[in-house]
Amino acid sequence: MTISTSIPARMDVTLPLGKVRCMNCAGKITQALQVLDGVETVAVDTQNARLSGQLDLAKIIETIETLGYEAGYQHDLPLAGLSCGKCVAKLKSVFAADPRIAQFEVSKTRAVVLGALDQDALTALIQSAGYQVPLSEHPDDQETSGQQARSDAAAHLQNAETAPEAPATTATVSDSPNEADADSHYFLISGMTCASCVSSVEKAIRQVDAVSAVSVNLAERTALVQGEIDPESVIRAVSNAGYGAELSEDERTRRERQQAQNSAVYRQHLINAGLALALGVPLMAWGVFGGSMMIDSVTSQWSWGIIGLLTLALLVYCGGHYYRDAWKAFLHHRASMDTLVALGTGAAWFYSMFVVLTPEWFPAQARHVYFEASAMILGLITLGHALETKARGRTSKALEKLIDLQPQTAILVDDQGEREVPLAEIKPGMKLRLRPGAKVPVDGVIETGESYLDESMLTGEPVPAHKKPGDELHAGTINQSGSLLFIARQVGNQTLLARIIGLVRQAQSSKPELARMADTISAIFVPTVMIIAIVTATIWYYVGPDPVSIYMLVTATTVLIIACPCALGLATPMSVTVGLGRAAEHGILIRHADAMQLAAGIDTVVLDKTGTLTEGKPVLTHSHYYGEYTEEQVLTLAASLEQGAEHPLAKAIVAAAKAQSLPLKTLSQFHAQPGYGVSGQVETHNILLGNRALMVKEGIDTACQEADALTLSDDGATAIFIAIDGQPAAVFGISDPLRADSGEAVARLQAKGIEVIMLTGDTERTAKAIARQAGITKVIAGVLPDGKSEEVRQLQQSGKHVAMVGDGINDAPALAQAEIGIAMGSGSDVAIESAQLTLVRHSLHGVADALELSSATLRNMKQNLFGAFVYNTLGIPLAAGILFPFTGSLLSPVIAGAAMALSSITVVSNANRLRLFRPGSAQYQTTTLTDNKGGLE
């Protein structure tokens, strides 16, 4: 369940009411609403509540429901046009930005909304976001007022179950954190060897009913399939296409199964390569050091015939899968890397055996055998696959370390005492024991005990966090000292750690624009190579020297072998997999690989002020006192007046009094004056607390307070005037302090040539004061949330590539408008679905880290693609014999096989260099998410 966190907006609203039976009930509601902050006028009857002012709709509905009544329009609408979690996040952002919506829940197929919008208005809002509301499945209207019985959807919205309420200043994740991924399925794919295979598997899966999206990762041999599908239908489709597939139920099972497959494949490749090279190397050495490779006698026929049979056995045992897969590809009317290998090695063997059996059919100079070529090509390519498999096993180390953070057992506390049970048996609501030094098994809330927990694996913060009763715990964090008793809240795939792992896994299966371009080329690459080989052979047949059969064979075989698109298929998936895993280690969650490519081109970073540059928690920082009242007296009376208020400034005053252990007095009267402040009576004193306008309105002379108030504003603090019994008593300065590392992070961004802009709704004087402290020169102040996106749009129209950084859902329109939206988050309140990038640790260094890592990943992808394209672009002409007129020699098929294998190894090794990437923040922050000690290696 998500609560809209829009800043209260000035509006007039009419809310339908339910269970209001008389005007006495209406009077109770009127009294309760009149004291709410921002409410200017209230008119309530038995049918409706009409209000005006700066209204917090969620608070108003909550107040009415607390009295036992119902309020607001409740909708449960079907949706169409939402194809992925990104669409869900976009619609949530639209709802969250609308002040007329109090609560909402969105999936790909339904929207449950509570607020002041009737059905027509809500439908129009959904359509403005680019989605549709199909005709209702039910004949009766789904719009219900408070007078009607609430639907099941209403109950779903109102029942928060056991989940703790999220702070109003941060975006919350729905009750089902994996809702966006609820219809996502992971499959382990076997039999893929190149980018052409990727295209074939994706095409086969897309033909399955109900599949909305599919992404196949060659580097990991996995397929992410989205849609309400029958997994068996996907497995059948992949099998019919000539490949293998099995469903991966969870991350740990998937990893164990994948590791087992990789180990088995690696061992088999090594065995096959050893056998092939054991035959091929002596044969090649024989030819290199002067041995005859010609058929010139019966003895040579017998000798080479035996070697030919040995080579055939080798091709069947060690290379049989190439021929089987090539045959499957042929049956499915496609060509792959296996096709090229099978044609190349097969052509060399058949030609050689034909020469052995019928040498008289060939001119004397054409009676050359190439058994060593078949054996060496097979051995080198298989050795390359073995090394590639070994290197691929290292690409997901970052993700595997995250998976290893969660223990497999938990200590359950029940009527039978304390006992250790498997994690799968833990359910929400169970009571668990956490001993010193142990890892937290599931997300929960502390019931008894205090301790310090190392949360560096989630937040990147090296300082242990002090936890006490009521505080939240997160799976994978480490208890350092005391024993804790806590209640399980989120278990299994609903824990924050599981959500992070799932997000990284989903992003690793996505493809940036560069990868899609490579896939498009790869889909036609193999057939093109086969055509080039045929054309090459034809040209040599007509213009080549005698014996033309040898030149045709060598050139065509070499073209087939050297052009295998293994490197092309691995170029981008390897970089994406390693880069996203490395980002997760540094607390940077990336929803889609496209975001990394976009982030690499950012030249302007727009920062929200509150909660992004600053702590987001106002505190009393300055105070000036006048007249006969002491500091203790003024602070006690002010805090007593504000003790029941919800405003952040009021909480800062109360917190300051509690920090000094000042006793709060009895409040006998309280009156909120929207736009001015508050007033009331504490014991025998009449108190005024608010802005300068309140003092002027009440006839208080503020001459003695003006200078201090102006100084406070220049320092970035909000000046709060206080008068006691008609006399000026104090001016409080309340400010939201700058985060300790914000200045350093801004300097890092500026050092990279990135323009940093502050965008805030605060006053220009306060905003500029904070900007000076952070080292920011350009400030856009006084902008409401709905105006932030327009400011971002104007920057884009001026040619800027903008990244918007905000603290969650309040900045959702601007986050969606920017090329890259970066949400600041912490703990379970991380705004995973509000932006393309989310920073788990609440530090602006994460923004610089994300941009640096994105640039490094994009650079790595380009290096891999450049190598793969240049290799094939140069290799094919060389293999076709373009240098023969100048050198008089051709490229050996064996050299081509070695080069092809080397290209794949080079791409994989280059991608794994990203594992060594350390962002510039290393000098400020060395702790990463890899382990409890911090650091990468």
Q: Tens digit of pLDDT for each residue in 688-740?
A: 998 888 898 889 888 888 888 888 877 778 889 999 999 999 999 888 888 88
Q: In which element (H, E) is residue 90 found?
A: helix 85-97
Q: Is 396 helix (H, G, I), strand (E, B) or coil?
A: coil
Reply yes or no on whether the pLDDT at 31 is more than 50: yes
- The reported pLDDT for the residue numbered 462 is 53
> What are the pLDDT digits (tens) for 824-841?
765 334 445 556 787 877
Helix 566-585 / helix 496-509 crossing angle, nearest 10 deg: 160
* Res 494 pLDDT > 80: no
pLDDT confidence band for 400 (50 / 70 / 90): low
Residue 395 has a pLDDT of 54
Q: What is the pLDDT of residue 605?
A: 94
Half-sphere exposure in the Cβ direction for 820 (13 Å, CA): 33
Q: Which amino acid is at 424?
A: A
For residue 722, what pLDDT is reported?
93
pLDDT value at 180 more than 80: no
| Strands of the sheet with 685-690, listed across from one edge | 619-625, 727-735, 718-724, 685-690, 677-682, 667-673
Q: Which residue has the higher pLDDT, 804 or 265?
A: 804
Which of 355, 365, 320, 351 has its CA nearest to residue 338? 320
Q: What's the DSSP call for residue 610?
A: I
How far is it, in rounded angstroms, from Cα 714 to Cα 711? 5
Q: Residue 151: its pLDDT value, please?
A: 37
Range with the poorest average pLDDT among 215-219, 268-272, 676-680, 818-822: 215-219
The tokens describing 64, both together, are 């009415």
Say if residues 123 and 77 touch (Cβ distance below 8 Å): yes
Tell me the pLDDT band of 161, cut-offs 50, 70 and 90: very low
Most confident of 467-476, 486-495, 723-732: 723-732
Measure the CA–CA gap between 25 and 19, rounded to whole angstroms.
9
Average of per-residue pLDDT across 750-762 = 88
Handedness of CA 86, 89, 93, 95 (dihedral sign): positive
* 312 — pLDDT class (breaks 50, 70, 90): very high
Using alpha carbons only, give the angle 119, 120, 125 rounded to the nearest 5 degrees.
95
687 CB-near residues (< 8 Å, 6+ apart) = 637, 638, 641, 679, 680, 681, 722, 723, 724
The predicted structure's pLDDT at residue 157: 39
Residue 72's pLDDT band (cuts 50, 70, 90)? confident
Rounded distance between C-alpha atoms, residue 412 and residue 421, angstroms = 7
At 135, phi and psi to the nearest 5?
-60, 140
Residue type, 505: R
Candidate from 219-223, 242-246, 695-699, 920-924 with smallest mean pLDDT: 920-924
User: What ranges make up the beta strands (E) of 286-364?
Assistant: none
443: β partners: 490
Q: Which of 8-22, 35-49, 209-223, 461-475 reaches the highest mean pLDDT?
A: 35-49
- Residues 693 and 676 sit within 8 Å (Cβ to Cβ): yes
Lowest-confidence range among 182-191, 607-616, 878-887?
Answer: 182-191
pLDDT of residue 175: 34
pLDDT at 646: 65
The reply to whether omega before 545 is within 30° of 0 (cis) is no
Structure tokens at 695: 């003092």
Own/partner long-range contacts of 817-821 (Cβ < 8 Å, ≥24 apart) = 817/789, 817/792, 817/793, 818/606, 818/792, 819/598, 819/601, 819/602, 820/595, 820/598, 820/599, 820/602
Overall residue count recorded for the chain in this entry: 937
- Partners of 738 in the β-ladder: 614
More confident residue, 791 or 326: 791
What 3-state class would DSSP assign to 94?
Answer: helix
Predicted local distance difference test score (pLDDT) of residue 473: 87
Full 3-state SS string of 780-844: ECCCCHHHHHHHHHHHHHCCCCEEEEECCHHHHHHHHHCCEEEEECCHHHCCCCCCCEEECCCCC
Average pLDDT score over residue span 359-387? 75
d(CA 832, CA 825): 8
pTM above 0.85, yes or no: no
Q: Which residue type occupies 794?
A: Q
Q: How far apart are CA 254 and CA 233, in angstroms?
A: 20
Mean pLDDT of the chain: 77
- For 271-280, 551-560, 774-783, which range has the lowest pLDDT when averaged over its residues? 551-560
Q: How far is it, in rounded angstroms, from Cα 785 to Cα 384? A: 55
Do 465 and 455 meet the contact criterion of CB atoms below 8 Å apart?
A: yes
Average pLDDT over every residue of 540-568: 75
Sequence-distant (6+) residues with CB within 8 A of 149 are none
Is residue 391 over pLDDT 70? no
Residue 741 has pLDDT above 90, yes or no: no
**How confident is the model at residue 353, as a pLDDT?**
87
CA dist 877 and 278 (Å) reads 31
Tokens of residue 76, six digits:
């449960």
pLDDT for the residue numbered 616 = 72
Average pLDDT over every residue of 326-353: 77
Rounded to whole angstroms, the Cα distance separating 139 from 665 reads 58
608 part of the active site: yes
Q: Looking at residue 486, what is its pLDDT?
A: 92
In angstroms, the CA 510 to CA 214 distance is 9
Q: Considering 76, 98, 594, 608, which one is annotated as catalytic?
A: 608
Other CB atoms within a 10 A radius of the CB of residue 290 amount to 6
Alpha carbons 185 and 214: distance in angstroms, whole number: 10
Scanning the structure block, which residue is given the tokens 């941009």? 851
Measured CA to CA, the distance from residue 485 to residue 446 in angstroms comes to 6
Strand partners, 188: 222, 246
Which of 790, 740, 739, 744 has its CA nearest to residue 606?
Answer: 790
Backbone phi and psi for residue 53, each to the nearest 5 degrees, phi listed first = 130, -165
At 160 the pLDDT is: 32
Residues near 322 by beta carbon (within 8 Å), at least 6 away in sequence: 338, 341, 342, 345, 378
Treating both helix axes as pointing N-terminal to C-terminal, what angle do 893-912 and 845-880 enclose, rounded to 10 degrees? 180
pLDDT at 172: 30
Q: What is the mean pLDDT of residues 853-876?
A: 81
Percent of the chain with pLDDT over 70: 79
Rounded average pLDDT over 925-933: 38
Q: 413 pairs with which residues across the strands?
A: 418, 431
What's the CA gap between 264 and 241, in Å, rounded? Answer: 23
Q: Are 367 and 294 in contact (CB under 8 A)?
A: yes
Confidence at residue 399, expressed as pLDDT on a 0 to 100 scale: 59
